[in-house]
Amino acid sequence: SSNEHKLNFKKSKEACVSYIQDALLQKQWKRSAEFLTCYVESLEKDYSREHIGPSEMIWRIGTEILWHHSQSNMKEFNCFMEQMKTLGVKRYLKVCLEHVFHLLCNGHIDEAYQNLSLAESWRFGEQTAIQDKEMKLIQAYRGLLDYCSWSKQKNILLEHGEDGFSDLAVEREMHGYFRKAAVNLKEIIKIPGVWDVFVKCYVDLLEFYGDHNEARQVLNEYAYNSKFPANPNAHVYLYQFLKRQGESKKSLISALKILHDIVPSHELMIDFNTMLQKSKKRKKRQLGLEVIFAALDYAGWKENAKAWSCLARQMKQIVISEKHLDWIKQEWNSRKDWWPAFHFSRYLAKRNWQENKSLSYEKALVAGILLGKDSKYFKYVSHQGCKAQLKRFRMLKKFVTRHNPAYLRISG
């Protein structure tokens, strides 16, 4: 057992790493640099059996320190990254990519582009095939930067266009960037993954050049291909595209339906409800009610006057027509235990009245229908409104009082 206590190289370096860790967690960059200086000699040892070797450790720790240390600068950082690239061929592309990210974060777009191009031309026997994924990412980011350049040229062109100038050179450059960008962006989005930025840019390019079919196909793939991870943004992009294309309400609604299923609190739910309310189909109108109720379940929507007005409008219509009160009853069943405290407390009545009269108006209407004319919220707001001699609040009071039987049917 005397061997357990022996201080050896391995234990000494393990202890060193744990000191570095502590220092990093406490943002003590000088101290972590101090210990890293002592750790660095591990590079000369064989660690092939370990999970994470010293070269990876040094790369990751060194990056953190150089990124945050007050005395470090981009030049030092770049120099370090170049050294790290030579340290491990299996990690070469990953290091390149991360270097590029750091350059982009610091606004060094040109340098980032150079690094990406350089990395793209890298070949190393079978490693090239093994690191295929990283290579695709590198190409994708280069495509992204090409897109940025394209975008810049496009803006220049538009400006000149406004002034009546046409600039063939700029146009040619622009088309050149388009080709370069399109090729790479198309490749990456074939692979299952979350590629919001790439997809958006690619679709932008396609739309500009009028290739709407390809754009539609890309967006459909991104949203509906089950191999891709579930991504609400995919549906948002598809919806926005379809809207731009002036597609039928039917296809717009089907695009948003999935979004409602995944993210009931999404901001597009207002648009969705508005579309559904106007639909001629009963099922769609009922869905609309479901959608707006579901959105208002979330705290972030509590003070959204637009959302409340959607709900109020729809509920008012249902009450007046006296048809489909059961829809409201169904939605209210699962909410009547907690919505009163969540939305319709006396405290909220006071606050809403003070801060946003429109909000309190819409909410009061809903409260009046769901909880009756004697509910705290409705009573307070309508009283305040009538006191202030605001016409619509008087109308509100009359309406709710007249339709109290509806409340009784809903709550019963």
Partner 1 sequence: QSWPVYEEVFNKMHELAAFLDLPRFPDITESCFLHPDMLCMKYLMEANLPDELHNWTCRVVKKIGIGEVDFLTLTPGNKSKRKVKYDVLAAAIIVVVLKLLFLLDDHYEWLLSEFAEERNKNNTEVCMFYSGGPYFEFKKWYEVVKHSLDVEQKKLDEARAKYLWRCEKPLFYSVKNKSKVLKRRQMVVNLQNQFGKLSGSVQRAEKPNPSSFQLSWSEENTDGSCFHGHSLKGILQEKCGLLTAMNPDYWLCTVKLCNEKLCGHLAHYKEVEFPQSYHFVLGLFSFLLRIQPSYIHDEVCMIEHKLFNKKLCKKLKYNTVLRK
Q: In the complex, which residues of this chain contact partner 1 (CB under 8 A)?
A: 2, 5-9, 12, 15-16, 18-19, 29-31, 33-38, 40-41, 43-44, 58, 62, 65-66, 69, 71-72, 76, 79-80, 83, 86-87
Q: How far is the CB of 339 from partner 1 (least distance, A)?
A: 57
Q: Which value, to the nearest 10 degrees, does the dihedral of the CA atoms of residues 299, 302, 305, 311 take?
A: 90
* Nearer residue to partner 1 within complex by CB, 34 or 110: 34
Q: 75 burial class (0-12, 13-18, 19+ CB within 10 angstroms)?
A: exposed
Name the token pair of 398: 């009359």
Q: Under a CB-based contact definition with an 8 Å cutoff, are residues 144 and 201 in contact?
A: yes
Q: Which is nearer to partner 1, 80 or 377 (CB)?
A: 80
- CB-side exposure of 297: number of CA atoms within 13 Å? 19
The whole-angstrom separation of Cα 1 and Cα 255 is 68
Residue with smaller CB distance to partner 1, 29 or 327:
29
Nearer to partner 1, 15 or 230 (CB): 15
CB of 97 to partner 1, least distance (A): 21
Query: Which pairs with CB-CB distance under 8 Å and at least 24 residues apart come from 12-18?
Result: 13/39, 13/42, 13/54, 17/57
- Pick 48 or 389: Cβ nearer partner 1: 48
Closer Cβ to partner 1, 38 or 388, answer by number: 38
Of 109, 194, 118, 119, which is closest to residue 147 (Cα–Cα)? Answer: 109
Shortest Cβ distance from residue 96 to partner 1 (Å)?
A: 18
Closest distance between partner 1 and the C-beta of residue 235, in Å? 47
> In this complex, which beta carbon is closest to partner 1, that of residue 62 or of residue 288?
62
**Neighbour tally for 300: CB within 10 Å:** 10
**DSSP 8-state symbol, 264:** T
Q: Which is nearer to partner 1, 37 or 411 (CB)?
A: 37
Q: 200: number of CA atoms within 13 Å, CB side?
A: 12
Smallest gap from Cβ 54 to partner 1, in A, equals: 10
Contact 170, 151 (CB under 8 A): no
Cα-based torsion angle of the residue sequence 162, 165, 168, 171 in order, rounded to the nearest 10 degrees = -10
| DSSP assignment string, 281-317 | SHHHHHHHHHHHHHHTTSGGGTT-HHHHHHHHHHHHH
What's the DSSP call for residue 41? G
Contacts for 46 with CB less than 8 Å, ≥ 6 apart: none
CB of 47 to partner 1, least distance (A): 13
Residues 6 or more apart whose Cβ sits within 8 Å of residue 68:
27, 29
To the nearest whole angstrom, how small is the minimum distance from the Cβ of residue 37 to partner 1? 5
Nearer residue to partner 1 within complex by CB, 46 or 126: 46
